[in-house]
């Protein structure tokens, strides 16, 4: 399946993905860079490979995202690597993705032609929306915010506070956003969050969050009911 590769909000390349090691959720493809990649990202890729102790904090700061042809953004457990060797500039470049959800491998990568993964009123995301939703949730959870009041009172943290999350799709009728989440000890794969758009840490218990075990659980419990209501 064809896909776009982003660093932050910028398109840095395209690829056509295929399944590699299915047991590890591995997919890969030739990476075709944009000019933005050469200007702003390539140096970081070279630096990552030129040391025996890669700086993963700097690598993660590239904030890489891959969006499949059907609009779905991947959220791989093992992340992304780009194979681009400085000493071999004419060699084909490659992107590897590890830990892709097995359901996504079965349902989307092996479906031709690609089919939509959500139905109205739920929408796929553009990269600008994805970052806006993730940044807003970060603010509402207070992840990067510390106050004297918090030190004294030690308020209870939201359940998503120490999780990783990736915006997945959005209800066009309101501010409900479905996030794919990863958190040690949490056996739920998706969280439906009603963002408040206060752009600051919310009071205890907010933003409102509902969990779903996987995407099928969300589809049958929520999305299809919303579709029936939308079409009435």
| CA nearest neighbour of 226 among 170, 148, 158, 183 | 170
For the full predicted model, state whether its pTM sits above 0.85: yes
Give the separation between CA 18 and CA 29, rounded to whole angstroms.
Answer: 6
Give the separation between CA 227 and CA 189, rounded to whole angstroms.
Answer: 22
pLDDT at 37 over 90: yes
Per-residue confidence at 147, pLDDT binned at 50, 70, 90?
low
> Hey, where are the domains in the chain?
2-109, 122-231
pLDDT digit string, tens, across residues 67-77: 999 999 999 99
**Are 172 and 196 contacting, i.e. CB atoms less than 8 angstroms apart?**
no
Task: Specify the pLDDT at position 12.
Answer: 98
Q: Kindly state the average pLDDT of the residues 69-92.
A: 93
pLDDT at 148 over 50: no
Q: Kindly state the average pLDDT of the residues 106-132.
A: 87
pLDDT at 123 over 50: yes
Based on its alpha-carbon atoms, the radius of gyration of the chain, rounded to whole angstroms, reads: 19
Per-residue confidence at 146, pLDDT binned at 50, 70, 90?
low
Per-residue confidence at 109, pLDDT binned at 50, 70, 90?
low
| CA nearest neighbour of 67 among 136, 17, 133, 134 | 17
Give the separation between CA 202 and CA 33, rounded to whole angstroms.
Answer: 40
| CA nearest neighbour of 166 among 115, 112, 103, 100 | 100
Give the separation between CA 221 and CA 216, rounded to whole angstroms.
Answer: 8
pLDDT digit string, tens, across residues 167-199: 999 999 999 999 999 999 999 999 999 999 999
Phi-psi region of 136 (alpha: psi -120 to 50; beta: other; left: phi over 0): alpha
Q: Kindly state the average pLDDT of the residues 20-40.
A: 95
pLDDT at 153 over 60: no
Among 25-34, 82-91, 102-111, 144-153, the least confident range: 144-153
Task: Specify the pLDDT at position 112.
Answer: 72
Neighbours of 178 (CB within 10 A): 24
In percent, the amount of the chain with pLDDT more than 70 equals: 94
Task: Specify the pLDDT at position 215.
Answer: 93
| CA nearest neighbour of 66 among 55, 81, 46 | 81
């Amino acid at each position: 399946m064809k896909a776009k590769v982003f660093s932050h909000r910028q398109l840095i390349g395209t690829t056509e993905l295929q399944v590699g090691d299915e047991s590890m959720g591995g997919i890969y493809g030739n990476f075709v860079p944009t000019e933005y990649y050469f200007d702003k990202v390539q140096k970081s890729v070279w630096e990552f490979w030129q040391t025996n102790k890669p700086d993963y904090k700097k690598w993660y700061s590239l904030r890489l995202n891959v969006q499949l042809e059907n609009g779905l953004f991947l959220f791989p457990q093992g992340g992304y690597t780009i194979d681009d060797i400085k000493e071999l500039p004419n060699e084909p470049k490659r992107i590897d993705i590890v830990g892709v959800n097995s359901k996504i491998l079965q349902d989307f990568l092996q479906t031709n032609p690609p089919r939509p993964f959500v139905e109205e009123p739920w929408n796929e995301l553009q990269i600008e929306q994805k970052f806006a939703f993730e940044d807003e949730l970060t603010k509402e959870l207070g992840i990067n915010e510390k106050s004297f009041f918090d030190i004294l009172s030690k308020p209870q943290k939201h359940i998503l506070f120490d999780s990783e999350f990736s915006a997945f799709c959005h209800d066009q009728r309101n501010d409900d956003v479905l996030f794919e989440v990863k958190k040690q000890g949490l056996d739920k794969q998706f969280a439906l969050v009603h963002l408040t758009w206060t752009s600051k840490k919310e009071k205890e218990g907010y933003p409102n969050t509902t969990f779903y075990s996987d995407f099928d659980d969300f589809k049958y419990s929520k999305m299809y009911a919303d579709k029936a209501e939308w079409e009435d």
